[in-house]
Amino acid sequence: MRDTVWSRTLATAQREELLASDTLPAVADVVVVGAGLVGLCAALSLRRRGAGRVVVLDRGAVCSEASGASAGGLWPAHECLSMVCPEVARRAAAMHTRLQDEFPCDYVSSGLLEPVAGEQAAAAAERANRIRRAGFRAEMLGAADVQGLEPQLCHAGPALHCPDDGSIHPLRLAAAISSWLRSRGVRICLGERVERVSRGGTAVLARGSRIEAGAVVIAAGAWTPLLTRVLGWSPPIRPVRGVLMATEAFLPGTLRTVVVGDRYYYWQLARGPLAGGGSEEEVGFERGVSPRIAADIERDWAERFPELAGVSFSARWSGFRPRCDDLHPVIGRVPGGGRAYVSAGHFRKGILLAPLSGELLAREMAGEDPWEPARAMRPGRFPPHDPPD
């Protein structure tokens, strides 16, 4: 398991849950490729709707890529204007609220603060209006209120405030869902790299073993096109590396909100550490944290929180966000792919959108009428090509 603030703040039982692997079956009703949060939530929704033998395969541990490297931010209000439509954000938020009742995940309803320069105040106020019209709470705060809400922040101007946004511990959520899935007979097989999905979506080949499947769901995050290409369809999803850093446990209440700047954001975990970052780099699948980005985040942090400039960010990690060209996820049947489905391309919002995506996918697989906003997320918006020989 990679060293992140999330892996450092896990209980032993949860760590074991994320690393435990079940034996590979020869046959399944549904094979989900990818045990990130999107794949787990797909399995959750499918199982809840009565799917029989569901198997989740991952080449690593549960949530060992983007989901476990994320900031765990649930910012439906702040993000609602960049979704297919605001209804998607409302529904995603409502689903998360229900999920958190069932699966404990350290949800912190801290609110989100976006400090703005004086000349940007009018545009930010207009954004606040639009967010309110979309059904969320949002307001502009003056400098004095900003200081009262976030005393460590060095900002003498206004800020956009979304009081209902917050964050979770993504690995705690993943461990709880994984445990639920296993208790309902779902197998989660780890260390199993899927080499190929058969053309009709009726089998997968993993490390030399073939699993016959009633259907295959490809939820492989930024790696999704590598698996769908053979089906004659390649969604324009590519990796965008993001870096985050965190301190050891810190005095509770040091940061009270999620502070979102123009390049980076910062927050404090329920379990104490201060954390921040969120860079975007187009470096393919090159792993690691570049010293230049780490120094830039530290510089930005010190400017925003001068009293905290000397804190030591002892944990540093990166992950690959799956970015789709049109910035919306791709959920549904693979064009021309028979019984192959996909749920991927969630870019910066996959933690927020995973439960909703699972539900939309399970609904389509059950042959139900699609929820209207889901049409804009369908794979068919990207045409198929000839499969390679």
Ligand X SMILES: Cc1cc2nc3c(=O)[nH]c(=O)nc-3n(C[C@H](O)[C@H](O)[C@H](O)COP(=O)(O)OP(=O)(O)OC[C@H]3O[C@@H](n4cnc5c(N)ncnc54)[C@H](O)[C@@H]3O)c2cc1C
**Residue 261 touches ligand X, criterion: CB under 6 A:** no
Among positions 54, 55, 66, 77, the unique one binding ligand X when judged by CB under 6 A: 66
**Residue 86 touches ligand X, criterion: CB under 6 A:** no
Window 14 to 53, contacts with ligand X (CB under 6 A) = 33-39
Minimum Å distance from CB 321 to ligand X? 4
**Residue 57 touches ligand X, criterion: CB under 6 A:** yes
| Type of residue numbered 144 | A
Here the tokens at position 268 are 């404090």
d(CA 299, CA 309): 8
**Residue 60 touches ligand X, criterion: CB under 6 A:** yes
Residue 321 bridge partners (DSSP): 240
**Residue 99 touches ligand X, criterion: CB under 6 A:** no
| Type of residue numbered 16 | E
- Report angle CA 348, 351, 354 to the nearest 5 degrees: 110
Beta carbon nearer to ligand X, 39 or 336: 39
Residues 6 or more apart whose CB falls under 8 angstroms from that of 268 comprise 110, 250, 252, 253, 254, 255, 256, 274, 275
Beta carbon nearer to ligand X, 47 or 348: 348
Judge contact between 348 and 74, C-beta under 8 A: no
Minimum Å distance from CB 119 to ligand X? 28
180-209 footprint of ligand X as x/- string (CB under 6 A): -------------xx---------------
Minimum Å distance from CB 120 to ligand X? 23
Quick one: which segment of 21-29, 104-112, 219-227, 374-382 binds ligand X (CB under 6 A)?
219-227
Residues 6 or more apart whose CB falls under 8 angstroms from that of 69 comprise 2, 4, 242, 244, 317, 318, 319, 320
Q: 3-25 burial string, b = 16+ CB within 10 Å, else e?
A: ebbbbbbbeeebeebbeeeeebe
Judge contact between 265 and 259, C-beta under 8 A: yes
**Residue 349 touches ligand X, criterion: CB under 6 A:** yes
Judge contact between 285 and 308, C-beta under 8 A: no
**Residue 321 touches ligand X, criterion: CB under 6 A:** yes
- Phi–psi pair at 237, nearest 5 degrees: -110, 130
Minimum Å distance from CB 307 to ligand X? 25
Quick one: which segment of 59-67, 81-89, 122-130, 333-341 binds ligand X (CB under 6 A)?
59-67
Nearest in space to 304 (alpha carbons), one of 348, 272, 257: 257
Minimum Å distance from CB 301 to ligand X? 15
Here the tokens at position 208 are 């030399």
Minimum Å distance from CB 42 to ligand X? 9
**Residue 71 touches ligand X, criterion: CB under 6 A:** yes
Beta carbon nearer to ligand X, 122 or 283: 283
By the criterion CB under 6 A, which residues form the site for ligand X?
A: 33-39, 57-60, 63-67, 69-73, 193-194, 219-221, 223, 227, 242, 244, 278, 319, 321-322, 344, 346-352
